[in-house]
Amino acid sequence: MGLNKKSVDDINVKGQKVLVRCDFNVPLQDGKITDENRLVAALPTIKKLIADGGKIILCSHLGKPKGEPKPELSLAPVAKRLTELLGQEVKFVPSPVVVDDTVRAAVDAMKDGEVILLENTRYRAEETKNGDEFSKDLASLCDVFVNDAFGTAHRAHCSNVGVTKYVDTAVVGYLMEKEIAFLGNAVENPERPFVAILGGAKVSSKISVINNLLDKVDTLIIGGGMSYTFSKAMGGHIGVSLCEDDYLQYALDMMKKAEEKADILTGMIVCTMRNLETEKNIAMLKEAREFLGNGVVACDLAGDEKAYPTAAFADVFATAKKYGMPYTIHAGECGSREEIRTAIELGTSRIGHGIAMSGDEELKKEVAEKKIGVELCPTSNLQTKAVTDFTNYPFREFYDAGILLSINTDNRTVSDTSCTDEYMRLAEAGMFQEPMCEKIYMASLHSAFADDDTKQVLWKKWMSMFDL
């Protein structure tokens, strides 16, 4: 294969007992399989071993019985359906301990080409702990071990890792071989842009993976339980969600590494929410304060302006001021001009959207004179019906009023857009021309939550792009 793995094509198992780790973790409803794709995926490997004349012993986990023999998580329905798919009997050998004398006797009585299925490997508590006793029990059944359970290959369990210590021959099946080849090619010779999505509960178990992927991908998306550790590292409020506090600094280091690789600068604006109690918002700011200047750069207020008026959050922003944390406030998106005025009174340095100040010459003048940045998000503003169409979008009105504008996406994935797309839509509507670029960039730079040194770096980058 070129990936340093032996497959079932490299061996012939005639007359040998072969333990095959499959992924039969299928959904069940009233004892019936509702999605059999995993069974079908395992068939090529099983059929090859049958054709060789091996004695095939299948094993898999199903659900999370947590070391208890729960009847509703038995693999009996799997044996029945495999019998139908293979066109020959798959004998089910139930045992509450998976491997016992009854199972050993059934294996010893097997003829070449026959297939049996063991009970749910997670009936044994040792399975998920990769305990030696259960690993030895599984190994005692076979001469050869075949791992064809790609879906569980990331877990060090008895049935896919421990057993290999006690067998002389261990290979991968066709499904595993296909997935390894795909991943190998994807990582070593990827099509660009190369995006990886990494899930899982713990950052601590993915350290080497994160490090390696950052050197190869264009974008790395952290999901699952790990995301809470990264979110907290950047000052996010995660409540009682899973978090590895010992790895907060590691999360920040990885984000720094990503910045350096991509030659970009990032900062986390933590978000207080209008629908949350003041106490919860202040508690989030208290946590975020620990990372101010080390990932966290500012805070925001977002949510339904009509249901939760800006004035009710005076204590939140008094706290932000006390912590030395700058802030922006979503105001006047679908709310009133009064929300914008309140945001100004609370000392905001930026306003999210601010659409409602269209037509109010006095308010526009105040925002311009106080050099309060306004974050315009054209596509999002259309989607939220803050404006009806681009013909009455206030970009040019605000620009001509001398307001410090920045063009943003709001939420790239929800709005399915990019900053480039936003500029293009404004240009197509006849509102934006290339000579405006420098003024918009300078306004964005002025409003950025960054120190003077960082702004200087960003300005030099801008100048170098145009050989200025």
CA end-to-end span of the chain: 53
Q: Which residues contact 340 (CB under 8 A, 6 or more apart)?
A: 331, 332, 351, 354, 356, 357, 363, 367
pLDDT-based confidence at residue 399 (cuts at 50, 70, 90): very high
E strand or H helix at 428: helix 419-428
What letter represents residue 391's amino acid? T
**Residue 417 carries which side chain, given as an amino acid letter?**
T
For the ranges 210-214, 378-382, 431-435, the lowest mean pLDDT is seen at 210-214
Pick the CATH number of 8-178 from 2.40.40.20, 3.20.20.105, 3.40.50.1260, 3.40.1640.10: 3.40.50.1260
DSSP H stretches of helix in 234-327 = 248-262, 278-289, 314-322
Instruction: Say if CB 440 and CB 426 are below 8 A apart.
Output: no
Q: Which tens digit of pLDDT belongs to each residue from 97-148?
A: 999 999 999 999 999 999 999 999 999 999 999 999 999 999 999 999 999 9
pLDDT digits (tens, 9 = 90+) for 347-373: 999 999 999 999 999 999 999 999 999
Beta bridge partners of 327: 299
Residue 1 has pLDDT above 50, yes or no: no
Q: For the chain, give the number of residues.
A: 468
Which residues have C-beta within 8 Å of that of residue 68, sequence separation ≥ 6?
123
* Amino acid present at 406: S
Coil, strand or helix: which one is 455?
A: helix
Q: Which residue has better confidence, 237 or 385?
A: 385
* Cβ atoms of residues 42 and 22 within 8 Å: yes
Instruction: Pick the closest to residue 56 from 35, 74, 36, 82 (CA basis).
Output: 82
Report the alpha-carbon distance of residue 203 to residue 222 in Å, rounded: 10
Question: Does the bond joining 193 to the residue before it have cis omega, within 30 degrees of 0?
Answer: yes
397: its two tokens: 């009105």
In CATH terms, the fold of domain 265-465 is: TIM Barrel (3.20.20)
Q: Which CATH number describes the domain made up of 190-263?
A: 3.40.50.1260
For 107, half-sphere exposure in the C-beta direction (CA atoms, 13 angstrom radius) is 25
pLDDT tens digits, one per residue of 10-69: 999 999 999 999 999 999 988 899 999 999 999 999 999 999 999 999 999 999 999 999
Of 346, 417, 342, nearest to 354 by C-alpha is: 342
C-beta atoms surrounding 426 within 10 Å = 21
Query: Reading across the β-sheet that carries 169-172, which strands appear in turn?
Result: 90-93, 115-118, 55-59, 17-21, 144-147, 169-172
Q: Crossing angle, helix 248-262 and helix 226-233, to 10 degrees? A: 80
Q: Is residue 265 over pLDDT 80?
A: no
Q: Which residues in the chain are classed under CATH 3.40.50.1260?
A: 8-178, 190-263
Token pair for residue 363? 């308010």
- Is pLDDT at 93 greater than 90 in this prediction? yes
Rounded Cα–Cα distance for residues 362 and 353 (Å): 18
Q: What tokens were used for 290?
A: 């620990």
Domain with CATH 3.20.20.140 in the chain: 265-465
Distance CA 284, CA 272 (A): 8
Q: How many helical (H) and strand (E) elements, i.e. helices and strands, does the chain have?
A: 18, 16
In whole angstroms, what separates CA 64 from the centre of its chain? 23
